[in-house]
Structure 1
Amino acid sequence: MSEIEQSEQLISHSRLRMRVKSPFFATLALFAQFKASYAIDTAATDGKTVFYHPEYLISLPKAQQDGLILHEILHMALLHTIRRHHRECQLWNIACDIVVNGLIAEDKNYELPPNGIRKPEWETKSVEEIYELLLQQPNESKPSLLMPDLLNQPLYDSDNEENNQAETTNKSANNQQETIDKSPKNGNQTRSKDKFLANNDINLEVELTGSIQEHKQGELKAYWQNAMQQANIVARTSNQGKLPAGMERQFKELQSAQIDWRTYLWRYLVQTPTDFQGFDRRFISHGLYLDTLAGESVQVYVCIDTSGSISDHQMNLFCSELQGILGAYPHLQCQLYYADANIYGGYELKANDDIPKPIGGGGTSFIPFFEQVEKTRDLCLQGVCVYLTDGYGDFPRDKPSLPVLWVVVPGGLDMDKFPFGEIVKIY
Structure 2
Amino acid sequence: MNTRDEFERQVSRAIIQLRLRSPFFATLALFASIKPSEIFATAATNGRDIFINKHFWQHLTADEQLGVMAHEVLHAALLHVARRGTREPLRWNIAADIVVNGIIMAQEGFALPEGAIRMKKLEHLSVEEVYHLIKVYSKLQLKYLDLVEPEDGSLSTAEYAELEQHWRQALQQAQAIMDITGHGTLPAGLQRELGHLHPAQLDWRAYLWRFLVQTPVDFQSYDRRFIGQGLYLDALAGESVKVYIAVDTSGSIGRTEIGQFLSEIQGILGAYPHLEAVLYYADAACYGPYPLAPDAEIPAPKGGGGTDFRPFFTIIDAEGLTPHGGVAVYFTDGYGTFPSESPALPVLWVLSAGGIDVNRVPFGEAVRLIPDQA
Classify the TM-score, shorter chain: 0.7 to 0.9
Alignment of 1:311-330 (within 5 A): 311-330=254-273
Moved more, 320-329 or 273-282: 273-282
Residue 153 (structure 1) aligned with residue 153 (structure 2): no
Q: Note the C-alpha offset of 1:363.
A: 3.0
Q: CA deviation at 1:144?
A: 1.1
Match of residue 376 from structure 1:
319
TM (norm. structure 1) is 0.77
Tell me what 1:108 maps to.
108
Question: Which residue is 1:69 aligned to?
Answer: 69
Query: What residue ranges of structure 1 are gaps of 5+ in the alignment?
Result: 158-205, 284-288
| CA RMSD in angstroms, aligned pairs only | 2.9
Q: Cα gap change, 1:415/1:324 in structure 2, threshold over 3 Å: closer, same or farther?
A: same
SS in 2 for 1:130: helix
- Asked if the contact 1:82/1:217 (under 8 Å) is kept, the reply is yes
Distance across 2 between alignment mates of 1:371 and 1:241: 43
Which moved further from structure 2: 92-101 or 302-311?
302-311
Cα deviation for residue 90 of structure 1 reads 0.4
Deviation by residue 1:188-210 (Cα, 9 ceiling, x = unmatched): xxxxxxxxxxxxxxxxxx8xxxx
**Aligned equivalent of 2:159:** 216
Q: Supply the distance in 2 between the matched residues of 1:382 and 1:33 (Cα, whole angstroms).
A: 55
Give 1:265's match in structure 2, choosing from 208, 215, 224: 208
Q: Which range moved further: 92-101 or 77-86?
A: 77-86
Indicate the larger mover: 249-258 or 73-82. Answer: 249-258
| 1:337 alignment partner AA | Y
Using the alignment, how far apart are the partners of 1:122 and 1:357 within structure 2?
31
Change (3 A) 1:306 1:376: same
Distance 1:217 1:291, change over 3 A: farther
Q: Identify the residue that residue 141 of structure 2 maps to in structure 1.
A: 144
The aligned length equals: 365
Identity of aligned residues (%): 47
Question: Among residues 247, 251, 255, which one is paired with 2:194 in the alignment?
Answer: 251
Structure 2 segments unaligned to the other structure (5+ residues): none
What is residue 42 of structure 1 aligned with on the other side?
A: 42
Q: What SS does the aligned partner of 1:237 have?
A: helix
Q: Quote the Cα distance in structure 2 between the aligned partners of 1:426 and 1:266.
A: 15
Residue 20 of structure 1 pairs with residue 17 of structure 2: no
| 2:122 aligned residue | 122
Q: State the distance in 1 between where 2:271 and 2:10 align.
A: 54
- CA–CA distance in 1 between the matches of 2:18 and 2:353? 34
How many Å apart are 1:117 and its aligned residue?
A: 0.8
Q: Using the alignment, how far apart are the partners of 2:160 and 2:101 within structure 1?
A: 24
Q: State the AA in 1 paired with 2:267.
A: G
Contact 1:106 / 1:246 at 8 angstroms: preserved in 2? no
Once residues 358 and 246 of structure 1 are traced to their aligned partners in structure 2, the CA distance between those partners, rounded to angstroms, is: 33
- Give the direction of change, closer, same or farther, for the CA distance of 1:319–1:43 in structure 2 (3 Å limit): same
**Amino acid in structure 2 at the alignment position of 1:74:** L
Shift of the 312–254 alpha-carbon distance from structure 1 to 2, 3 Å rule, reads: same
Q: CA deviation at 1:332?
A: 2.9
Structural mapping, 1:180-199, within 5 Å? none
The correspondence of residues 77-96 of structure 1 with structure 2, limited to 5 A, is 77-96=77-96
| Stretch of structure 1 that moved more, 255-264 or 10-19 | 255-264
Cα offsets for 1:76-131 (capped at 9, x unmatched): 11111122222211011011101111111111122212221111121111211211
Write the distance in 2 (CA, Å) between the matches of 1:105 and 1:241: 13
After TM superposition, give the deviation of residue 69 of structure 1 in Å.
Answer: 0.8
Choose 249-258 or 55-64, whichever is displaced more. 249-258
Q: 2:298 aligns with which of 323, 334, 355?
A: 355
